[in-house]
Amino acid sequence: MNRSALDQLLRSQAGIWRGLRSENQVWQVIPSGFAELDALLPCGGWPLGGVLEILSPCLGIGELSLLLPAMADLTQAKRWIAWIAPPQQVYTPALLQAGIDLNYVLVVDCRQAADIPWSLEKLLRNGRCGMTLAWPRRLSDHQIRRLQLAAEAGSALAVLFPKQLNGSGYTALRLEVRPAETGLDLHILKARGSLQRASLTLPL
């Protein structure tokens, strides 16, 4: 069996993951709006059709600013941004300043924590929603897997800001952010399709 035949075989098997940067896996992405970050992310942007976990020590260090350019792009493409049970009041003038079209912003109140994954799944699966943001207290591997599938079905980005480090294997991308003197320290802990662990500091 020559090299290309082996390559073909490996490509045809969906269950085989080939480590590092594998060029054969291409999925839809949306540029993050930060060139240095795009260069590190697989396929050059946030994965559309995947779960993105952002681990942040506390609210307000700039973890949301990371997503604002992508949100603006999505609303310009007439796709909705859904905020599920945000921990504080989302302040619309700031969204407007970031270039987000408020006609495509939806805020959902969830009284019960159990409704959060259900709502996320419903919204993600429908293709009109481009991004969901949620701050769940606890999600099981099984639930994250379901979200991942829903996001793939609707080709949307599901952003989770977990309270604790889940360590789920099903997320497409996991980042850790820390405040830095000059901006935001960012560590890529896990990226689907890449073994590379990278760090950078973004000036925000």
Partner 1 sequence: MAATARALSPTPTDRVDALVKPNAANSPLWLCAYFPDLALAALHLDLGQAVASSALSKGQTRLYAVSEAARQAGVEPGMAPAAALALCPGLSIRNRDPLAERQALQQLAEIALDFSPWVSLDQTDCLLLEIRSCLTLFGGVEHLQDKLRTALQTARHRPLIAISPSPTASTLLARLNLETIVSDRQALRSALGPLPIAALELDDKILHRLFRTGIRQLTDLWRLPRDGLAKRYGAVLLQQLDKLAGQQTQVLQAFHKPPSFQASREMPIELERIEHFFPAVEQLAGEFAAFLKNRDATTLGIILELHHHDRPATRLTLDFRVGNRAPKHWCSLLYEKLERSPLPAPVLALTLLSSAIVPFQPERFSLFDDSEQPSSEAEWQAVLDQLQARLGHHALKFPGTCSDHRPERAMTDTPSPLNANPGLPSRPLWLLPNPDPIRIGDVHLLSAVERIESGWWDDQFIRRDYFIAKDTRGRKLWVYRDLNTKNQWFVHGLFG
List residues binding partner 1 (CB under 8 A).
57-65, 80, 86-97, 101-103, 105-111, 115, 118-119, 122-123, 126-129, 154-155, 178-180
- Residue (178 or 190) nearer to partner 1, CB: 178
CB of 24 to partner 1, least distance (A): 25
CA angle (64 as vertex; 89, 70 as ends), nearest 5: 115
Locate 104 and state its tokens: 């495509």
- Residue (22 or 185) nearer to partner 1, CB: 185
CA distances from 155 to 63, 109, 200 (A): 22, 24, 27
- Residue (60 or 167) nearer to partner 1, CB: 60
CB of 128 to partner 1, least distance (A): 4
- Residue (24 or 89) nearer to partner 1, CB: 89
CB of 141 to partner 1, least distance (A): 24
CA angle (172 as vertex; 169, 176 as ends), nearest 5: 85
User: How far, in Å, CA of 22 to CA of 28, rounded?
Assistant: 15
Nearest to 151 by CA among 174, 171, 135: 171
